[in-house]
Amino acid sequence: MDSAREVSDGRLTVEGFSVASRAFADKWKIHNQSFPPWSWVPLINRTLLVSKKEEGYLSLEKIIILSSLEEEIPEDESLNVATDCLEKEETVDHTILVPTMENEAHYYDFHIVYSASYKVPVLYFRGYCSGGEPLALDVIKKDVPSCSVSLLLESKWTFITQEEHPYLNRPWFKLHPCGTEDWIKLLSQSSSSSGCQMPIVLYLVSWFSVVGQVVGLRIPLEMLN
């Protein structure tokens, strides 16, 4: 068994994560062209001058979900203060297109980050409106397919929590990794005839085939080959 190429205990090393990430991103690019590609965000390790291996995370950002419903956010009345003056002062300009009401776009960012304590990948995500306001979890749940919501309710492995993003130091949502090792083991047992080994290059693909469903990102079957 070559530990650099295969995973037998459901867990990844940092180096394995880096290898698996690139393999995943490459496959995604080929088979999932309706989505933008995942990009590898390298990290600068300022404490250790010698960068041992390339550390970083995978990022897929600004995935747009359109909702036809214009959600009414309660207006902040205090915002109307002292605005009349502007009306009079600003030049009336007929070359400004008056925008028509459009679909409200929700944006989603996804990061796949390596968890050193669980030794598995973790999916971090967030949603926000076009102006940048973060979306609450209950709004996000309306955006993801209903099967995802039921998956969240039923599955012991996939629950969403809000925690600080390890590199951005701001709260993001994440799928908690505490069951990952176990179901990865199950996956590798069922998919492999030769024991419970899984090639590292397929690790992230298999992993994402499960967690992606929770957030409504399905991957084509060809990616698993």
Partner 1 sequence: MAEKETPAIILQFAPLNSSVDEGFWHSFSSLKLDKLGIDDSPISITGFYGPCGHPQVSNHLTLLSESLPLDEQSLIASTSHGNRNKCPVPGILYNTNTVESFNKLDKQSLLKAEANKIWEDIQSGKALEDPSVLSRFLVISFADLKKWSFRYWFAFPAFVLDPPVSLIELKPASEYFSSEEAESVSAACNDWRDSDLTTDVPFFLVSVSSDSKASIRHLKDLEACQGDHQKLLFGFYDPCHLPSNPGWPLRNYLALIRSRWNLETVWFFCYRESRGFADLNLSLVGQASITLSSGESAETVPNSVGWELNKGKRVPRSISLANSMDPTRLAVSAVDLNLKLMRWRALPSLNLNVLSSVKCLLLGAGTLGCQVARTLMGWGIRNITFVDYGKVAMSNPVRQSLYNFEDCLGRGEFKAVAAVKSLKQIFPAMETSGVVMAIPMPGHPISSQEEDSVLGDCKRLSELIESHDAVFLLTDTRESRWLPSLLCANANKIAINAALGFDSYMVMRHGAGPTSLSDDMQNLDINKTNTQRLGCYFCNDVVAPQDSMTDRTLDQQCTVTRPGLAPIAGALAVELLVGVLQHPLGINAKGDNSSLSNTGNNDDSPLGILPHQIRGSVSQFSQITLLGQASNSCTACSETVISEYRERGNSFILEAINHPTYLEDLTGLTELKKAANSFNLDWEDDDTDDDDVAVDL
Query: Where along the sequence are the contacts to partner 1 (CB under 8 A)?
Result: 33-34, 36-37, 41-46, 62, 64, 66, 76, 78-83, 86-87, 89-91, 93-99, 102-103, 105, 126, 128, 130-134, 136, 156, 159, 161-164, 167-171, 176, 178
Nearer to partner 1, 5 or 70 (CB): 70
Residue of 204, 213, 171, 175 whose CA lies nearest to 7? 204
Nearer to partner 1, 17 or 203 (CB): 17
Nearer to partner 1, 2 or 75 (CB): 75
Minimum Å gap between C-beta 205 and partner 1 is 21
- Name the residues annotated as catalytic: 178
**DSSP annotation string for 154-222:** H-SS--EEEEE-TTT-SEEEEE-GGGHHHHHHHHHHHH-SSTT-EEHHHHHHHHHHHHHHHTT----GG
Minimum Å gap between C-beta 84 and partner 1 is 9
Minimum Å gap between C-beta 91 and partner 1 is 5
Nearer to partner 1, 9 or 182 (CB): 182
Minimum Å gap between C-beta 194 and partner 1 is 31
